[in-house]
Amino acid sequence: MSRLLSAVSSRLRTYLKTNLKRTIRQTSIAAVFVAVVGYYFTYQDRIDSRQQNAWNVVRTALEWSEKNKWGNVGQIAAVETLTHDCDAWWIDTPLKHLFGRDCVPLKSLSLRALDFGGLIAPGANFSYSDFKCANFTNAHLMRSDLRHVDFKASTLAYADLSGAKLAESCLYLADVSGAKLDKSTTVDPANLLKACIRVNDRGARLNIDAKSAGEAITKIADQIPVCPSNDRCNLLPDPWSCGKSEIHPDRNDY
């Protein structure tokens, strides 16, 4: 009898030990799964909240621009939030559907005369936007889509435009002093000649940084005219026109 009880007890202990381990393992897996799913949806909620706040600031900036106000209402941080992931390596892969929500196309915005100095927005899409008289000094716009953007009388001094797409953008009287262009930057040289550069206190030209640019840009880097004044916004022609090049006055692309 004692042997029977001992055998039953042993088997019971083995059964409970085995099943207890299996239960703990299954419970742990389920807990991890629930935690991951919960974190993902919480993460998405944070993105939604963050982007909603950023869009509210952008809408305020749009209102300021419409009323011809200038300055900073927080638009730099808002734009950086909405374009944070636009230059990530995985943005053109299927992973963008999981992680690429902080890359919102900011096309056709009208943000004239506002401050974007030091903006960090590589890879962002600003195509067809209106940035007349805006300040982009030291902005990081590498590989950004700036096609058909109106930069008339804006300040792009020392902005990094490496790899940027500037096809059909308007650079009339835009200050491009020290702006960096490389072989991947797409811009019509004739359009670049509509821009201007400043001179320093010694009278030396602050030319664009074209050391890594293509031959077509390198050839005309020293021909970009000097800005006529600091108050270039009052010199703008018809708002629908891109003006004429100081070097090629017969050229008017708009």
Q: What is the pTM of this model?
A: 0.78
The per-residue pLDDT for range 66-78, each reduced to its tens digit, is 888 877 899 999 9
The answer to whether 159 touches 141, Cβ cutoff 8 Å, is: yes
| Stretch 204-233: mean pLDDT | 93
What are the angstrom distances between the C-alpha of 127 and each of 107, 163, 193, 252?
5, 15, 21, 20
pLDDT at 254: 38
Q: How much is the pLDDT for 229?
A: 85
Asked if pLDDT for residue 200 goes beyond 60, the answer is: yes
Residue 2 has pLDDT above 70, yes or no: no
Beta carbons within 8 Å of 142's beta carbon, 6+ residues apart: 87, 122, 123, 160, 161, 162, 163, 164
Q: What is the pLDDT of residues 81-104, one digit of tens each?
A: 999 999 988 777 776 666 656 789
Domains assigned to the chain:
76-235 (2.160.20.80)
User: H helices within 142-234, ranges in order?
Assistant: 189-192, 215-220
